[in-house]
Structure formats: C-alpha cells, structure tokens
Amino acid sequence: MKDPSRPDFFVGVDAAYDDVEDIKRLVDEVRSYTNRFVIGSTGITENITKLDEVCQYVYEKGLYFVIYIHITEDVPQHPQWIEDARQRWGDRFLGIYAYDEAGGNQIDCSPYMPVKEADNYTDAANKFVGEISMYLEHYTDVYISAGDFPLFTSDYALYWFDYEAGYDVVLTEFGWNHSRLLNVALCRGAAEVQKKDWGVIVTWKYNDHPFMESGQELYGDLVLAYQSGAKYVVVFSYPKV
C-alpha cells in the first residue's frame, strides 16, 4: 500500500563537496522549498563519522536523501552502516547513487568506458549490460550490501541499457548544448517500458565561469522536467560553481 505521506515528486540539490558545515548551511537554505537532498561527495560518504552527521542533519530538517558512493579499492565497506541506516532513518533514506555516466563514457570513448571492444552492436550491448551489472553487484551484495535499496545514477546516453544493467532510477542530464526534449524522451521511454522511475539532474552549461545557466533558464528546466513527468529533479552543486 502506498504511504500517503510520501511525496510523488522529489526536488532538491546534489551537494558534491566535502565540507560538513557548508552542507548544513546549504540544507538550511533550501529546505523550505525542496524535499530531497543528495550527499554527493565521497569525502563525506567514505567517512562514516561525517556521513552519520550529515545524514542525521538532513533527516532532522525533514528532507529525504540519497548518498553517492563510488566504489574503489580504498572505499570502506558499508554493510553494517546500511543496516543501521534502515532502522535509523527509515524511508527518508531513498537509496544509493551508484557511479554515474556509464552510457556517456561509452559513447564518448572515455578512459572509463565499460566496453573497450565488441564484435557488433549486439555484442557491445550485452557486454555493456554485463559489465555494469557486475559492478552494481558490489553495491547490492559485496561492499555495500544495499539489498533492495534503489540504485540511482545520472547519464546522458544509453538509458535503456543502464536500466537493463540494474539501475532503478536514471537521471537524464540537462546541461551543455544537449537537447532537453530528446533526452527526456529517451530516458522516460526506457523507464516506462521497463517499469522504472526516472528524473532530471541540471548540471553545467559551461566549462568555465559561470558554469551554470541563468536563474530563469534553471527555472525553465525544472518546470520542463516536472511537466514531462519526472519523479526526481536535482540541481548539481559543485565547489567551483
């Protein structure tokens, strides 16, 4: 049965910096007009003391939250923390932001692309899904033991295959000169066919100052995301901005 107190739409900020007091100030600033907060810095999420402090603060301010964890060999294991979090913060803890831009890295041929070579398109698709699925197992079963916690990511390509690989929510990126309508259609279509959730993350428009779009453009993007049926909308906040 659906919890009537749980929002149907989540809007908030992704704070991708490692400063507990700055994050608290940001939470205080946005809590009156948002309901979701992403703790988006591994400097926080890889430090259990900082992570506990920030999560508790966000919780006490009445917001739902997601934590970003990017698994490497140096990342501490989180199984007990996850189990404690279930009891401590309940459904306010929405899930794990697990890696990002797998599809974008693939089509841009970045050093982080999951598939380095393939015999044909079918082989490439199967290898992509297999590689990401195997990586996500580290979140659900090995290092994090997230179990049935939803797995979030953001991307700007190959949404269908992100979902096939095991993501529960994909946030399509609004940024640069990318077509908003095209990316909404691709992400929303993949989500609806596979019975998953989707959303939007508004990120950089420029590679240099002022980095982000104007306030009026940002508002337009938020409205477009909402009217297009997104369940989650996030504004990316990074120290350089």
pLDDT of residue 109: 94
Between residues 4 and 217, which one has the greater pLDDT?
A: 217
- Per residue, the 3-state secondary structure of the chain, as one string, reads CCCCCCCCCEEEEEECCCCHHHHHHHHHHHCCCCCEEEECCHHHHCCHHHHHHHHHHHHHCCCEEEEEECCCCCCCCCHHHHHHHHHHHHHHEEEEEECCCHHHHHHCCCCCCCCCCCCCHHHHHHHHHHHHHHHHHHHHHHCCCCCCCCEEEEECCCHHHHHHHCCCEEEEEECCCCCHHHHHHHHHHHHHHCCCEEEEEECCCCCCCCCCCCHHHHHHHHHHHHHCCCCEEEEEECCCC
The correct answer on CATH 3.20.20.80 for the domain covering 10-237 is: yes
CA distance 161 to 217: 30
Q: 31, exposed or middle or buried, with CB in 10 Å at 0-12, 13-18, 19+?
A: middle
pLDDT of residue 4: 58
> 1 pLDDT band (50/70/90 cuts)?
very low
Token duo for residue 148: 């049935």
Of 33-37, 72-76, 77-81, 166-170, the poorest mean pLDDT is in 72-76
Nearest alpha carbon to residue 169 among 210, 188, 197, 144: 197
Bridging pattern class, strands 10-15 and 93-98: unpaired
Average pLDDT over every residue of 87-113: 94
CA distance 65 to 60: 11
pLDDT of residue 241: 46
Between residues 170 and 146, which one has the greater pLDDT?
A: 170
The yes-or-no verdict on residue 64 having pLDDT over 80 is: yes
Q: pLDDT for 166-209, tens place per residue?
A: 999 999 999 988 899 999 999 999 999 999 999 999 998 888 88
The yes-or-no verdict on residue 228 having pLDDT over 50 is: yes
Domain limits, the chain = 10-237
Nearest alpha carbon to residue 42 among 133, 188, 144: 144
pLDDT of residue 26: 96
pLDDT of residue 209: 82
pLDDT of residue 16: 92
Overall pTM surpassing 0.85 (yes/no):
yes
> 142 pLDDT band (50/70/90 cuts)?
confident
- Asked if 149 contacts 180 with a C-beta cutoff of 8 angstroms, the reply is no
Sign of CA dihedral 165, 156, 12, 48: positive
Sign of CA dihedral 185, 187, 190, 191: negative
On the question of a cis peptide bond just before residue 210, with omega within 30 degrees of 0, the verdict is yes
Token duo for residue 63: 């917001």
pLDDT of residue 63: 98
